[in-house]
Structure 1
Amino acid sequence: MAINEVPHFRPTHKSRQLGMLESQKTWIHSTIYLTVIAAFLYLLQLLVSHKLILGHHQHVTIKKQPDLPLRFRSDGTFKILQVADVHYGNGITTRCRDMVETEFEKENAGNVREAGNISMEAGDNIFGPSTSDAAESLFQVFGPAMESRLPWAAVLGNHDQESTMTREELMSFISLMDYSVSQPNPSAEVSDPSKEHLLADIDGFGNYNLNVWGAPGSQLANSSVLNLYFLDSGDRAIVDGVRTYGWIKESQLSWLRGVSKAYQGQNQDKDQSADISFLSATPPALAFFHIPIPEIRQLSPKEIVGHFQEYAACSSVNSGVLQTLVSMGDVKAVFIGHDHTNDFCGNLSGIWFCYGGGFGYHGYGKAGLPRRARVIKVELEKGGKAWMGVQTIKTWKRLDNEKLSKIDEQ
Structure 2
Amino acid sequence: MESDTKKAEKNWKHSLLYLTFIITIIHLTHQTNFSRKLIIGNETVRIKKTSDLPLRFRSDGTFKILQVADMHYGNGMVTRCKDVLASEFEFCSDLNTTRFLKRIIQAESPDFIAFTGDNIYGPSSSDAAESLFQAFGPAMESRLPWAAILGNHDPESSMNREELMSLISLMDYSVSQINPSADCLADSAKGCTPSKIDGFGNYNLRVYGAPGSMLANSSVLNLLFLDSGDRVVYQGIRTYDWIKDSQLHWLRHVSQEPQGQEQDPPQSTDHDTTPITPPALAFFHIPIPEVRHLFYKQIVGQFQEGVACSRVNSPVLPTLVSMGDVKAVFIGHDHINDFCGILDGIWFCYGGGFGYHAYGKAGWPRRARIILAELEKGRNYWTRVQRITTWKRLDDERLSKIDEQILWDQLFSR
Partner of 1:188: 182
* Post-superposition CA distance 1:126-154 (Å, at most 9, x none): 00111110000000000000000010000
1:233-283 Cα distance to aligned partner (Å, 9 max, x none): 01011111111101100000000100101148x798745845273445211
- Which amino acid is 1:109 matched to? N
**2:219 pairs with 1:224:** yes
Q: Secondary structure at the match of 1:354?
A: strand
Aligned residue among 327, 332, 338 for 2:333: 338
Equivalent of 2:366, from 363, 368, 371? 371
Q: Which amino acid aligns with 1:178?
A: D
Where does 1:127-206 land on structure 2 (aligned, <5 Å)? Answer: 127-189=121-183, 199-206=194-201
Q: In 2 relative to 1, CA 190–231 (structure 1 residues): closer, same or farther, beyond 3 Å?
A: closer
How far apart in 1 are the matches of 2:346 and 2:41?
49
Correspondence for 1:348: 343
CA RMSD across the alignment: 2.4
The AA in structure 2 aligned to 1:137 is S
Unaligned runs of 5+ in 2: 1-38, 186-192, 406-414
Greater Cα offset, 130-139 or 270-279 = 270-279
Alignment deviations for residues 270-328 of structure 1 (CA, whole Å, 9 cap, x no partner): 45845273445211100000000110000136510001000000001111000000000
Q: 1:371 to 1:253 in 2, by over 3 A?
A: same
Change (3 A) 1:55 1:224: closer
- Identical residues among aligned pairs (%): 69
Aligned length: 352
Q: What is the letter of the counterpart of residue 228 of structure 1?
A: L
The match for 1:247 among 242, 245, 248 is: 242
| Matches for 1:210-221 after TM superposition, within 5 Å | 210-221=205-216
**Which amino acid in the other structure matches residue 179 of structure 1?**
Y
For residue 299 of structure 1, give the secondary structure of its aligned residue in structure 2: helix
Higher alpha-carbon Rg? 1
CA shift digits 1:98-153 (9 cap, x unpaired): 00134446898331412110001100000011111000000000000000001000
**Does residue 75 of structure 1 match 2:70?**
no
Provide the TM-score with structure 1 as the length reference.
0.81
The amino acid that maps onto 1:71 is: R
How far off is 1:402 after superposition?
1.0
Of 112, 118, 122, which aligns to 2:116?
122
Are 1:66 and 2:51 an aligned pair? yes
Q: CA deviation at 1:358?
A: 0.5
Distance 1:102 1:79, change over 3 A: farther
Distance 2:169 2:184 in 1: 22
SS in 2 for 1:305: coil
Letter in 1 for 2:374: E
Equivalent of residue 79 in structure 2, options 94, 103, 117: 94
Cα distance, 1:333–1:59 mapped onto 2, change above 3 Å: same
Please give the alpha-carbon distance, in whole angstroms, between the structure 1 residues aligned to 2:262 and 2:46: 44
1:287 corresponding residue in structure 2: 282
What residue identity is the alignment partner of 1:150?
L
Cα deviation 1:48-99 (Å, max 9, x = unaligned): xxxxxx9985652110011111000011000000000000011122221000
Contact 1:267 1:281 survives alignment (8 Å): no
CA distance in 2, matches of 1:276, 1:170: 48
Paired with 2:257 and 2:60, the residues of 1 have a C-alpha distance of 28
- Contact 2:208–2:215 (8 Å) recurs in 1: yes
**1:190 Cα deviation (Å)?**
8.4
Structure 1 pair 269–397 and aligned structure 2 pair: CA distance change class (3 A): same
